[in-house]
Amino acid sequence: MTTDSAPRSTSSSSSDDDAHLKKLGYDGNFNRSLSLWGTFALGFTYLSPLVGVYSLFAYGISLGGPPSIFWLVIVGTGQLLVALVFGEVVSQYPISGGIYPWVRRLSSARFAWMAAWVYIWAIIVTVTAVAEYGTGFLASLLGLQPTKELTLFLAIAFLVVALVVNLSGTKALARVAKIGLAAELIGVIGVGLFLILFERKNDFSVLFDTFGTQGDGSYLPVFVGAALTGLFLFYGFEACGEVAEEVSNPAKAIPRAMIMTILVGGFSGLIAFLGYILAAPDLASIVSGEDADPIAGILESSLGTVGAKIFLVVALTAFLSCVLSLQAAGSRLLYSFGRDKMMPGHQWLSELSSKKVPRNALLVACIVPILICVLIYVGQDGLLNQITAFAVLGIYFAFQSVVFASLLARLKGWKPAGPFSLGVWGMLVNVVALVYGVIAMILLATPGTSGDFLADWIVLIGLALVLATGFIYMLIARPGRNSSIPEGDAVEIAALLREG
């Protein structure tokens, strides 16, 4: 009796999910094999606190000193508000592709095109960067000198391995994401707590010591300048919604997974950052910039050579899982574009393999980053940093497109009709989330003061180029002119869903 009831329950749930999707204008073509935990694992490994903290620990400490850790709390709170807005939207619109279909159904196809065009390039550049940065760990583990040729080869290997796993199906994606989740928790929370409890060399009061980073002036501008420490870490939760049509009971599971990603990811990043600060044998050298790669030294002095090697294996697993999740999220957005006839080769992009994954979209999400890796190889030193500088701003731009479109829909009378709703708090959370996001974008877009024009303005230049090409294409090709998918129908769909 028990064994018979479970399949019927699962089948009934899947039918309800597909019926919800049918009301939104789509057929259920994917296998709904992602559970709440699989969805959370995907979002968490995309957010990847291990990758984020390792990448920006030295940056934050050298710029703003130990108090830069408080940006993790500030940004985490702001992004939680954004995640709550996203939760209401995806609960009504559990559609693959995330950013694009949400903005389209809340506002218009043209607005959605621009938001998603920026977002897809930000994801592609980000997956390239993560693959490139991960090569340093692999080279170190293998005892190899990280030359440009080796970096190119290993970065391509990361991307191809991730492609193979993604092509093998959503269940395989979920399994590897869960392994990555375990690796992240060990490498971030486990190591962080070990450093705090057993390897502490600094007192907690050091968190309020600026180490003179402000010079003779106020500390506030210096602290604001270190904002990237937190802003770089807290995105990836949206990946939970990118695979909405592959999730069981997505209208309930995805909002929960998004909130879990922010809370657990933020706590993990905070523990790791705190552990590295308290265990650093010479914080002054990190603040001064003399120690450009402090985490490696902290780990080796605390864990020993063998322990540091084990951490490298854990870190590699986290980097691979992050590449895997980014590639999966990007492919679902491309698939969503193709299904709605919004891009050239739309029919090819919207094809699913026998494993029920967007095979061709995955190929694009792998090949384009490989081409960028080749460009980095033949380009000048520092090109990776220059071409990835706009990615964070691009992602925040896409996020705020959803938040802004959600606010516009509310002003037209939209009351979210999914099972996840903020009720009377929805409007307030939406407004505060938008204010936070605009401030975050201003912080990210503010030009540097190094005197190097390209280095100081690369963030705005990159975003302007992507926006310009997207706008020109939209005017010339008029993407979606043959698409019959509705736009701006949030109020009508909410009424339809309430009717049952």
pLDDT at residue number 2: 34
Give the model's pLDDT for residue 6: 39
CA 64 to chain centre: 24
pLDDT at 438 over 70: yes
pLDDT at 155: 92
Range name among 364-373, 379-388, 404-413 with the lowest pLDDT average: 379-388
Return the structure tokens found at 247: 């999730």
The overall average pLDDT reported for the chain is 87
Confidence band for 192, pLDDT divided at 50, 70 and 90:
very high
Residue 381 has which token pair?
Answer: 């030193």
Structural contact between residues 143 and 135, judged by C-beta atoms closer than 8 angstroms: no
pLDDT of 147 higher than 70 = yes
**Chain centroid offset of residue 252 CA:** 21
Q: Tens of pLDDT along 156-190?
A: 999 999 999 999 988 888 888 888 888 888 888 99
Structure confidence by residue, pLDDT tens digits, 202-222: 999 999 999 998 888 899 988
* Between residues 200 and 289, the one the model is more confident about: 200
Band the pLDDT of 3: cuts 50, 70, 90. very low
Separation between Cα atoms, residue 388 and residue 463, nearest integer Å: 11
Is-contact 469 108, C-beta < 8 A? no
Q: Does pLDDT of 384 surpass 80?
A: no
SS3 79: helix
- Average pLDDT of the residues in 481-499: 86
Burial (CB count <10 Å: 0-12, 13-18, 19+), residue 285 = middle
Sign of the Cα pseudo-torsion (164, 45, 405, 94, in order): positive
Residue count of the chain, please give it: 500
Residue written as token pair 């400490």: 61
Q: What's the pLDDT at 24?
A: 87
Q: Is pLDDT at 8 greater than 50 in this prediction?
A: no
Alpha helices in 356-382 (DSSP H): 359-378
57-73: pLDDT as tens digits: 888 899 899 999 999 99
Average pLDDT of the residues in 472-487:
82
The dotted CATH code for 33-380+392-443 is: 1.20.1740.10
DSSP string, 273-341: HHHHHHH-S-HHHHHHTS-SSHHHHHHHHHHHHHHHHHHHHHHHHHHHHHHHHHHHHHHHHHHHHHHTT
Residue 385 — pLDDT band, cuts 50, 70, 90? low
85's CB contacts (< 8 A; 6+ apart) are 402, 403, 406, 429, 430, 433
Break the chain into its structural domains and give their ranges: 33-380+392-443
Among the listed ranges 310-324, 401-415, 447-461, which one has the minimum average pLDDT value? 447-461
Distances from the Cα of 86 to the Cαs of 96, 398, 475, in angstroms?
14, 12, 29
**Tens digits of residue pLDDT in 242-253:** 888 989 999 999
| Separation CA 444–CA 390 (nearest Å) | 9
pLDDT of residue 431 exceeding 90: yes
Band (pLDDT 50/70/90 cuts) for residue 10 is: low
Most confident of 36-45, 290-299, 318-327, 411-420: 411-420
Q: Which helix (H) or strand (E) holds 112?
A: helix 109-142
Which has the minimum average pLDDT: 158-162, 196-200, 354-358, 388-392? 388-392
Nearest partner of 43 among 161, 181, 152, judged by Cα = 181
- Summarize pLDDT for 273-286 with one digit per residue, the tens: 999 999 999 999 99
Q: How confident is the model at residue 302 (pLDDT cuts 50, 70, 90)?
A: confident
**What distance in Å separates the CA atoms of residue 301 and residue 281, rounded to the nearest whole number?**
9
CA pair distance 137, 135, nearest whole angstrom: 5
- 384/429: higher pLDDT: 429
pLDDT over 70 percentage in the chain: 95
HSE-CB at 208 with a 13 A cutoff on CA atoms is: 3
Q: Report the pLDDT averaged over residues 117-129.
A: 90
Residues 6+ apart with CB under 8 A from 59: 226, 228, 229
Asked whether residue 15 carries a pLDDT value surpassing 80, the answer given is no
pLDDT, tens digit, 9 for 90 and up, residues 32-54: 888 888 899 888 888 888 888 88
Residue 238 to residue 458: CA distance in whole angstroms: 25
5: confidence class by pLDDT, cuts 50, 70, 90: very low
| pLDDT at residue 230 tops 70 | yes
pLDDT at 319 over 90: no
